[in-house]
Structure 1
């Protein structure tokens, strides 16, 4: 497996601490061990992706173990598939990725946020981390046996291009009642998540399951959870204050897991 150049799409070859393509485009490995494959012309902002503050909140919450049942379920599925090459799209700080690495011979983690990839690469050297766009995956065609996508957006045509025939894509999306108690503090009217019913071009849906359970959080943990959600910006100051003072905050998870197999 090799990276491909994000500028000309030719394969990249590693030379010491750099990756080069035949057109002499060069991408250096950072001291933490990751490579930045997100050219400035592909950025939508100066520092795309989640901020360092959001990543710190996410790491604190995930390290507390509240989403470990989801991680364990995904690891169970991956052990059955036994992929040689595995990619985690939107890997963030690597909480899931490093566990996936025990299921594959070689594992890659991709995220658009350098603030996430830098500490991930330092913490989990067994994973190949890169800063890159999920809309333009920097990998050669048919190079991955499995791709995991937890909430992260992605170009479905890129999934079809990168996954080997017979390979797999595992997606995780919010179920209808995911974090409904948290949303109830923010919105006057709660809209439940709609179940994903769309098709993935080039793939066949082989399995779908729901995973849900209740969490009992401290006020600090509830604040960290809110901070890592996409609706945090809608929360008024009193919501943050109310959460912070909670002795216990009960909140349910509701994950929807789909397993797609590439047409062979």
Structure 2
């Protein structure tokens, strides 16, 4: 048995990880799936039968990311982590998806001899299944960002990449002085794709908001151009929210292209947690 970064979603007690299950001192038990992840989303917090991204979207994103199209973003996150995170740090990826960025941080810190502890959560079971396969030494759970199964003040670096912004929970789980990397699309991210899909595309809204409980340290731009052939273009489309709200005509225009030159543009908002550690000992709000 080993102590886990996760805590019990039912009573907030610490969890221990065994060969086949996570257990807490109060007798709650959560089986570990064959792929290595655990389900820590209570039934009364599920808003649908299969929450989160479906298998098709997850597979498309996995194929696209594994070809390196967003590698500059992953490299920038690794550089920022290496500058800020010391040995033995606890990392949490909230909305980890299939673990592409999580694996980047794990690898970079490991090569540097930092030996981090790593956990990731996502609502999507297909995503978490892939993440657990990608990083067998990490811990991955089906769970909600708004009810993180993580103890107060236990995380040194929290990554949130294109995922729900659960600020109260992020404040709770980050230790004072801990880091929060918040990745969002820039105004012109995938603009050329949107021009094909929509008659009147609009830019993404960019904001710099000083969130309560956090010190705003930096906004790091990451921008590059991608030559995306037709098959990969279909994956890019399917992994974005545009896939669900694009008129049929726009989707047909995209399907007729052999490829497209597209700009990827991101902003990494870097925050540091301020204030005192919570003394409640509770892990859930």
TM-score (norm 1): 0.94
Query: Which residue of structure 2 aligns with residue 87 of structure 1?
Result: 92
Alignment counterpart, residue 202 of structure 1, candidates 205, 213, 238:
213
Query: Which residue of structure 1 aligns with residue 117 of structure 2?
Result: 106
Q: Residue 135 of structure 1: SS of its match in structure 2? A: helix
Query: Which residue of structure 1 aligns with residue 146 of structure 2?
Result: 135
1:70-116 per-residue CA deviation (whole Å, 9 max, x = no partner) reads 00010011111124111111111111111111325111111110011
Counterparts of 2:252 and 2:258, CA distance in 1: 13
Aligned residues of 1:98 and 1:127 also touching (Cα < 8 A) = no
Aligned residues of 1:85 and 1:146 also touching (Cα < 8 A) = yes
In the alignment, structure 1 segments of 5+ residues that lack a partner are: none
Shift of 1:17: 2.2
Shift of 1:44: 0.6
Query: Which residue of structure 2 aligns with residue 96 of structure 1?
Result: 101
Query: Which residue of structure 2 aligns with residue 57 of structure 1?
Result: 60
TM-score (norm 2): 0.88
Label 1:2 to 1:128 Cα distance change in 2 as closer, same or farther (>3 A). closer
Shift of 1:199: 2.3
Range 194-203 or range 31-40, more displaced? 194-203
Alignment counterpart, residue 123 of structure 1, candidates 114, 129, 134:
134
In the alignment, structure 2 segments of 5+ residues that lack a partner are: 110-114, 276-285
1:207-233 per-residue CA deviation (whole Å, 9 max, x = no partner) reads 112111111110111111110111211
Query: Which residue of structure 2 aligns with residue 231 of structure 1?
Result: 242
Q: Residue 5 of structure 2: SS of its match in structure 1? A: coil
Shift of 1:48: 0.3
Query: Which residue of structure 2 aligns with residue 147 of structure 1?
Result: 158
Counterparts of 1:111 and 1:72, CA distance in 2: 22
Aligned residues of 2:103 and 2:134 also touching (Cα < 8 A) = no
Structure 2 residue 24 is the aligned partner of structure 1 residue 45: no
Shift of 1:51: 0.3
Aligned residues of 1:181 and 1:250 also touching (Cα < 8 A) = yes
Counterparts of 1:126 and 1:135, CA distance in 2: 25
Aligned residues of 1:100 and 1:107 also touching (Cα < 8 A) = no
Shift of 1:15: 4.2
Q: Residue 115 of structure 1: SS of its match in structure 2? A: helix
Alignment counterpart, residue 20 of structure 1, candidates 11, 18, 23:
23
Counterparts of 2:168 and 2:268, CA distance in 1: 20
